[in-house]
Amino acid sequence: MAKIGFVGAGNMAEAIIKGVIDAKVYKSNNIIISDIRPQRVKTVCKKYKVKSADNCKLAKTVNVLVLSVKPQNMADILKEIKKAISKNILIVSIAAGVTTKKIQKTLGNIAVVRVMPNTPALIGQGAAAIFATKKAKAKVKNVLRIFSAVGLAVEVGDEKLMDAVTAVSGSGPAYFFLLMEAMLKAAQKLGLKKAIAQKLVLQTAKGAGLLAVEAAKGGKGPDVLRKMVTSPGGTTEAAMRVFAKRNFEKTVLIALWAAANRSKQLSR
């Protein structure tokens, strides 16, 4: 039976573990984890009834090895597991800024898939983009199944696009949180109590997101929805004029360029 292993059992790894078990992609007894924190290993194993092993034993045992460690720890992990992995293993890295070439430089010409997930995966609503090396192409469907278990998963054909993915969906939740944070503060300055303002802001964000997803099924983009809300001479138009005057769209573009360029720098 196919086995999957996780080197690093942090929040994102836990989200994936829960997702694949719930979606019946893998059974609990076919999931093995490791982590530098013994208590964390004990907690995850007890909660999901998965197994644990040291990094090398884990690498020898599994068919799919998910590297869910911090980027700064990746080099040491790769050196540690180098002699333990088989030539048929599939390496899946979710470490930001770590290229497939960096991984193959240490582990050799093996199948590697690089994934950029995002934090909504913690509640099964993530957005992940996947890049597969030539040797991993035949195994992409399984990786898509794994990450579809915690949200949306798409494949990109050029690893250079992972910088754009990082800027858009990887860092993207923070942009929406910033807007919600600003709206919450503004609502209170307009006289609303914090508790009421929070309920209204969060539900508005949730509703707008769900409406946009539903509308996209019928070919309607956010621009169409925005125009539907914006009546000529109305309250929404008054706010939109301020956003336009302050170059809202240009600010977003500059911000995403900055995030993408930083991603490139970290990948070098």
Distance CA 225, CA 215 (A): 8
Which regions of the chain carry the CATH code 3.40.50.720?
4-162
> Per-residue pLDDT tens for 148-174?
999 999 999 999 999 999 999 999 999
Asked if pLDDT for residue 116 goes beyond 80, the answer is yes
Q: Quick one: pLDDT at residue 82? A: 95
What secondary structure does DSSP assign to 17-81, as a single string? HHHHHHTTSS-GGGEEEE-S-HHHHHHHHHHH--EE--HHHHHHH-SEEEE-S-GGGHHHHHHHH
Looking at the structure, give the CATH architecture of the domain made up of residues 172-267.
Orthogonal Bundle (1.10)
pTM: 0.93
Tokens of 175: 């942009």
Distance linking the first and last C-alpha atoms of the chain:
38
- Secondary structure class of 115 (helix, strand, coil): strand
> Per-residue pLDDT tens for 55-80?
999 999 999 999 999 999 999 999 99
Q: Quick one: pLDDT at residue 268? A: 79
**CATH code reported for the domain at 4-162:** 3.40.50.720
Which regions of the chain carry the CATH code 1.10.3730.10?
172-267
Distance CA 92, CA 35 (A): 16
Q: Quick one: pLDDT at residue 14? A: 97
> Per-residue pLDDT tens for 1-57?
699 999 999 999 999 999 999 999 999 999 999 999 999 999 999 999 999 999 999
> Per-residue pLDDT tens for 231-268?
999 999 999 999 999 999 999 999 999 999 999 998 87
Tokens of 9: 């059992």
Closest CA to 104 of 74, 130, 128: 74
Asked if pLDDT for residue 225 goes beyond 90, the answer is yes
Closest CA to 61 of 31, 35, 37, 82: 31
